[in-house]
Structures are given as C-alpha cells and as structure tokens.
Chains A and B, each alone.
Chain A
Amino acid sequence: MSVPISYYLLLSAILFTIGVAGVLTRRNVIVIFMCIELMLNAVNLTFVAFARQLGQGDGQVFVFFVMAVAAAEVAVGLAIIIALFRNRETIDVGEVNLLKW
C-alpha cells in the first residue's frame, strides 16, 4: 500500500509553516532567506505529490521552473545582502529601517 497523498500534503504544510514561523521570528536576514527557501521546497513537494496523484508530468516540470527561479532569486538576494552589509555593517532586519520616519 503506497503512502496516500494527504500525508505528503500534510508534511509539506508543516514544512511551509515552519518556514513562515522562521521568517516571522528571526532577525538575521540570511536565516530569513533560508526560511524562504524552505517554503519553496515545501511547495515543490506539494507539486510533485499532485503530479503523482494526477498522473501528469506538469507538476514536475513546474518544480523544475521553481528551482531555476529560486536559484536566480537566491543569487540576486545574496548580492543585495552583500551590498547592504557593505553599506550598513549590519544584517539585522531590525536595524534596516531607513524608510521609517
């Protein structure tokens, strides 16, 4: 008996929620970024689970695109963080609040 799809969906919901909790709680901007990657992975797992459930390859192709875009996003995001660090000497998101009055 194979594992029912609802188990995979529940697992990916748990991973996604842990990612959201991390983004809301942590102050180190790199760790926040890693929690975003965790959320993307949870979503990938959902797509692949549905691809298996419906017997179509579209879910897997979409995951491929998500991974490619995630790679591009990580590169640009880390470049922004490096530029931020060079100017502000901090990576605490509580400190980066220049636009507030």
Chain B
Amino acid sequence: MNYALESLIKIAIVLGAVITAVAYTVLAERKVSAFIQNRLGPNRVGPWGLLQPLADGIKFITKEDVIPNHVNKAIYVAAPAVILIPALMGFAVVPFGDVIIVMGQKVELVIANVDIGILYVLALSSLGVYGIVLGGWASNNKYALMGGVRACAQMISYELSLGLSLIGVLMISGTLRLTDVVNLQASTTFLGFLPGWFVFSQPVACILFIVSVFAETNRLPFDLPEAEQELVAGYHAEYSSMKFAMFFMAEYAHMITASALIASLFFGGWHLPGIDPADDSLGVSLLKVLVFSVKTAFFLFVFIWVRWTVPRFRYDQVMRLGWKVLLPIALANVFITGLVLTLTR
C-alpha cells in the first residue's frame, strides 16, 4: 500500500511537471525563435510573456471544436489521445534524481524502475506511429493519409538506428535498467579525468541517437509531415482547437521525453562531476533533480535552436539518410564497441 501511494505521488508530480513544461516549451520556442530572428517574441501577457501559455490554453479550450462530417468519428476523436499517451508514458522510466530520504524512508526518484527500461522506451517509440497514421486515415482526406503514411514511414525507419545506437550503451553498461545506466555513469570515470558519461565512450552512438530522436519526434530538419501543411496538407489538416492542441502537446511532450532520455543515457542524468553520488542528504538530492532538469532544458534548447537554423530535408533525402547512412554507421558502431570490449575485458 505504501508503494502504491508513493508511486501515485511521484506520478502526480512528474505529470504535473511535464505538462507545465510542455506549455512553457511552446513559449520558449516562440521566444528563442524570435531572438534568433532578431525580434522579441510574445512579451505582452505577463512579464516577458510568461503568462502566454495560459492565454494559449484559454484560446484552445474556448475555440469551436469542429468535427467534419466526412471523417471516421471514433478514430478521429481517439487519434490525438493515442499519440499523446505514449509521449507522456515515456517519463515513467526516466530517473530524474537519485534517492531522496522522505520521513525516514528512501524513495527512488523514478516512477517505475523496471528491469527492461531501455526496451520500454523503444516500445513506446514504436507505438507513437499509431496516432499519426490513424489521424491521417480518419480524416478521410487523401492528402492527410499520404502525409500520415509518410510520417510513419520516416518514424519506423529511424527507430532502427535509434535502437541500434542504444546497443552500444547497453553493451558497456550490461543492464537495461535506466537507473543502473545513470549510476554507472555517475560512479565511473573515462580515462581517469572525465566523468564516465557515455557521450565520451560512445560519441558516435550519441550523435546517432540525437539525429534519430529528431526524426522520431518529427522535428526539423525532419518535419516534412508537418511542413506539408504549407504545401498541401499534413496529417492533422482536418483537426481544430483542442484536438489540434493535443497533437501539438504530444509533439512537445515527445521532445521533452527525448531530451530527458538523451540527458540520462549519454550525459549522466542527475550527475554533476563535483557532487558525490553517494551523498543523499535532502539538499544534495534536490540539487541532483535540478541538474537533471537543467540538462533536459539544455537539450530542449538544442531542439529549438536546430529547428530555426537548419533547412528541412526532402522525403527521399530523409529515407536515404535513415537507411543508407545511419543504419550502417549504427551497425559499425555496435561491431566496433563489441570488438573493443572483447579486447579490453
């Protein structure tokens, strides 16, 4: 019973944090893009535009929700939920801190410390395909369908290099549990002076993972499925108000989960080189959570920064990159990592 209560509290805190983060990531995107483009961005609603997400939320909720006549109603209404759920569920295995001592008990700061953590993450990224293809199909619009199918083809192609890049990390850490992966990074060093973060021992895998995660979340330079709106129509062409908002929220939630994963798998999660990982007083535990949040925020900033800097790929370039470039590099990385590990252990 105690465990259930503890989990419920953790879920409530994490969900609250992620949904607030989604709202403020939208604001951050608008502000960062504005500064990159030498303008100011939203700054009227609240100081520095900090209440803008509230205004956006009110707008979305009060807009008229139109369900066109020609759509397949059940799936049309379900598709935004189907895409939002895996995006939010990804946070269940991410360790956002080490342990915290609350009322004399040690509480692990991760919602579900399953022994198949990395596989769980891969499973959720495979499920993210459904919302898009169902949304595109339910709209009964051939352009939405083609947009949805292209988005899915892109996502399933990049799932391969996503999984294979993680195998390098898996071989070194020897475990699928994300808490163990972060603990290993916190407690070892690379070449004696650098912290044992996997970005140093697996740089190629890190770059592959970041590129694949850009493609998985449909962010520029891989956002052809959304950019088609400018040309013809995308998979969410027939959606309005709250359902469209859910598609948007799902994309940002996916970005946040992806940034959290990059931070945990390659950049040490909650570890900062000066802090002793075994120290679990309250102040240090909260500092570790803060370090994790800062790293996640930094990768979110990288997502936004890349979007407004780089032009987008064409569909055939995306497919070529996924299958002919990233997949062989990922396989070579697995092979070389295996070779090095056999020779040095």
**Is any CB of A less than 8 Å from a CB of B in the complex?**
no
